[in-house]
Chain A
Amino acid sequence: MYRIVKKQVLNPQVVLMEIEAPAVAAKCQPGQFTVLRVNEQGERIPLTVADFDREKGTVTIIFQIVGKTTMLLADQEEGGFITDFVGPLGRASELEGLKKVAVIGGGLGCAIAYPQAKALHEMGAEVDVVAGFRDKDLIILQDEMKAACTNYYLMTDDGSAGEHGFVTNKLESLLKAGNQYDVVIAIGPMIMMKFVCAVTKPFNQKTIVSMNTIMVDGTGMCGCCRLTVGGETKFACVDGPDFDGHLVDFEEAMRRSKMYLDQEKAAIEEYKKSHECNLMKGVK
């Protein structure tokens, strides 16, 4: 059992939890993830290591409430326990030697990108962060990100905060202005990462994306996380989750992520019926 040391609601859809897991905390690196189960009957879901404290032996996860398991997790209280927490899984991001980097975070992707921005900033790299959200109420980690970068650009789809527009608009103007990055790191919904790659491609700008495929074990034994990268089949959990975005077959990856859509919808409805989820109040 793994204790929930801290729980914080970042916005109506996003929750932060600090989990006591000393073995994971001792070894994890930016870019790696964990797989957890909330209870004995729960599904195994992957969540990125958003932060860690080696001394306290804790790992921070930040997750968006999108379905049954994330709802159930959000309903757990501070001081409570979750059944399983495995990690650190996947390859750590390759940050060594990077001097100038753009980090593009879409919505919750900002949480996944945060440890990388922070590590790069601590290494002395120049870090441009472009953070995008649907509207001002969904903004997360603004202060943290600002403290972990050189330039912070905030975008909202409706213009309710920061600049009006998508992250791709800002990235394009940065590239057009002559900025050249050792690498652009894009993390967010697959569709966003796909468009970021479309923007960077003409500039021949190396772009790394973080592929959030469906997973079961997270150790390379089931193959359900497979995707095509540069014409080859790769397992996101062991070969990734970071890949060269210009080589990823996004159409296939987006299609595969819908494998269980009908059942996921049914599970959400059932859960909502049987539980009064406080966090979901006011959320579509």
Chain B
Amino acid sequence: MHAPLTKVLIANRGEIAVRIIRACREMGVKTVAVYSECDRTALHVRYADEAYAIGPNPPRDSYLRIDKLVDVARQSGADAVHPGYGFLAENADFARACRDAHVTFIGPSPEAIDLMGSKTAARAVAVAAGVPVVPGMREPIATEVADSDVAAMAAEVGFPILIKAVSGGGGKGMRTVTDPADLPGALRAARSEASSSFGDGSVYIERRIQKPRHIEIQLLGDHDGTVLPFVERECSIQRRHQKVVEESPSMVVTPAIRRQLASAAAAVAKRVGYTNAGTIEFLCDDTGAFFFLEMNTRLQVEHPITELVTLTDLVHWQIRIARGERLDLDPEALLTPQGHAIECRIYAEDPDRDFMPSPGRVSALRAPAGPGIRRDDGGAAAGVEVPIYYDPLIAKLAAWGADRPMSLARMTRALHEYDVRGISTTIPFFLWLLADADFQAGRFDTTFIDTALALRNGRPFLEVPEASEFSAAAAVALQVYTRTQTPASSVPAAPASLWQQRARVDGLR
């Protein structure tokens, strides 16, 4: 019943589109890219076998246009669609439109997306599977429910609470409320963000677990009913509910807890006949108790760290499952981490200006390499413009080591090698984090970053020692000197350095 799967349309952009194209190439599968106006020169377009324009820059006019994407699938003869993450990855209508057009959707069924995409319905599934859930409401709150009624519901759940978008993800449409007086403002903000990001303004309320750690289980399910869970990822390092650093395995998960989490995750997935890649998120408190949070019915941003510690390729498996192959991985090996991996999400944001987006032209870029380093990016290079229309993710940088101190040391070394100019990035923030004693010791929960940022009170992330100001002043003066002197006495040009050659090669990948 499964098609052979020979040509995949990638309904996405940026690093994830490039990452999927790479997997397809490794498997001898043809690729079709789509692009908005500003993405004409993006790496995913240059790297794919075929490319089709799908409209103006705003996502709703291009990457979110189901009709155009299905047309391109037909026109190009693609027999499958990979949605990546974000955009239409968790949109059941898109999965259904693909099915109606006889194109394989590389992901779960539309029914599973629908069910698990509603946070309240997903909680009911977890309860039915015998998995504990965070205390909270069973039903969504429609947009027209009055503030006073919501206040009563919140009081019943018990403060502090979290307001969350029913169709949400990525921290959008989510607000913490500790003081009941702040509820109306938080509710307005959550509904407005939910409605603009997901087209659905309904929200629900959950109790805020104290000192929670975010632990999640990656899984794969095939069409024969096999569901295999993987070693956990810890994603407690979040800024305003957005993951910024992930690691695997977690320092606080013992082999016994790992087995409990894995079997709980598999029970939820089996309950809905889940197929392809998905992730079950849990909150763990400081006693080791865990609660089902939600399911992400797609490939996660942070999937590379799981690949690094389990020696698997999740995108290969997504494609193999979609074409009907059975999972023949060793379940024990998937729960036995090989070393430790960490990922930093490098964003075009200025950490010294409250993480304001910093779009613009990259004037120079040297990317890190060397032992234990994996970098996934969408082609960020000197001269490339970071567009304002999409997530400001420049690259995902992952480091692997035989143990956690080694992977952290490699990450620190790689962040020092990373030279991005012309825009601000979150690299200085990560260097501060990796040097923090509490982070190194594993003493943190999901409130760690927001608390630490408040305590820093705007102090810059990297304070340059005064001794370095000599070099800064000298270099600025030498540049002026070089530009105003005749070549005979200007600063000698070095032969193109290896790093520069490497950067050029990277830029042309």
Q: Do A and B bind each other?
A: no
**Interface residue ranges, B against A (CB under 8 Å):** none
Interface residues of A (CB under 8 A from B): none
